[in-house]
Structures are given as C-alpha cells and as structure tokens.
Amino acid sequence: MSSCKTNEKAVFYVPEGFKGTVVVVFEQEDGQEKEYINNERVYRIPKDGVLYSKFEEPNQGTIEHKYYYVENNNILQTIDKYIPYTEANKFHSDSVYVLQEFNGGHKSYENDKAKDEIRYMYSSIGKLKNKENLINEAHNRIKELNDKSD
C-alpha cells in the first residue's frame, strides 16, 4: 500500500436515479484505472454503488467533491450536498442530496497478525427525509465489505 496520500478534488459520476450508499475502495490492483478531468479525480460509480479503484486514499479532511447523476456519460444534474446546521431553509425533505461522506478502513487478521487493510470512503445519496435509513444502510454496506475482506 502506498504511503503517499494526496488531497485532490474529485468528481463522482453516479448512475442516474441512484439512491443509497456509494463506496470507493482504494488501492485495488484490479480496480478501475485512474482517470482525471481538469485535474480532478474521476470516480465512475457502477450501478451497485461499489467502485474498486486503483487510486490511493486521499488525505482526510475537507475536500471539494462534486457529485453528478449521469446517463451514457452525459451529466444530467448536480447532486447537492446536505450541510446540517447551515442554511437549513434551503434544503427540502423530498430532494436528493449527498447526505454524508466518510473515510475509513478495515484490517483483517490471520493468527492475531494484521494481514490486510482496505481503505475506503463512502457517501449516502438520497432524500433528506430518508437520511437515517440511508446512514444505517451505509453502515451495513461497509460491514458487508469488511466481512468479505476477512
């Protein structure tokens, strides 16, 4: 695993109409090739929401990510981010937002020794009124990926 971490902007191309958990698993040998547009990382999310990528994990912290619904490589619309406690009146319960973003990792062990670690980031995309269910789904999705790596 690479120890050099970057802090690059990223663009997420999400299949049109997708609602649920988007997961990007980093540093995967068989993952999607690295792609840049205008010096921004490009993550082309498959229909199941899980992208295995050759990109290394970016630095954590505030990074400007953009999300778009796409169909046949055509951008259909921007998916806005929900930012709690700011401009609360501008958010609508029936609108679709990126509700959360999180970076994390999971180590697997064999005979009490660390064997592997997967690093990932995930986002929940959906209606504000479904936020709690989407967050629970995200946690379950990450648990499934962690269980597969053990």
* Tens-digit pLDDT profile for residues 101-128: 888 777 655 555 545 678 888 899 999 8
Q: How confident is the model at residue 83 (pLDDT cuts 50, 70, 90)?
A: confident
In a domain, 94, yes or no: yes
Beta bridge pairs of residue 96: 127
In a domain, 78, yes or no: yes
In a domain, 4, yes or no: no
Segment of 67-71, 131-135, 145-149 carrying the highest mean pLDDT: 67-71
In a domain, 2, yes or no: no
In a domain, 21, yes or no: yes
Identify the domain containing residue 23 by its residue range: 10-149
Mean pLDDT in the chain? 82
In a domain, 5, yes or no: no
- Round to whole Å and give the CA distance between 117 and 105: 7
Phi, psi for residue 50 in degrees, rounded to 5:
-110, 120
Residue 1 has pLDDT above 70, yes or no: no
Q: What pLDDT does 63 receive?
A: 66
Q: Which two three-digit tokens encode residue 76?
A: 């259909």
DSSP label of 54:
S
Phi, psi for residue 3 in degrees, rounded to 5:
-95, -10
Instruction: Count the domains in the chain.
Output: 1
Contact 122, 95 (CB under 8 A): no
Q: If residue 149 lies in a helix (H) or strand (E), which one and from where to where?
A: helix 131-149
Residue 6 has pLDDT above 60, yes or no: no
Q: What is the mean pLDDT of residues 49-57?
A: 93
Contact 98, 47 (CB under 8 A): no
Q: Which two three-digit tokens encode residue 48?
A: 């199941």
Name the least confident of 67-71, 104-108, 113-117, 139-143. 113-117
Nearest CA among 17, 80, 22, 75 for reference residue 46: 22
In a domain, 1, yes or no: no
In a domain, 27, yes or no: yes
Nearest CA among 118, 112, 83, 111 for reference residue 98: 83
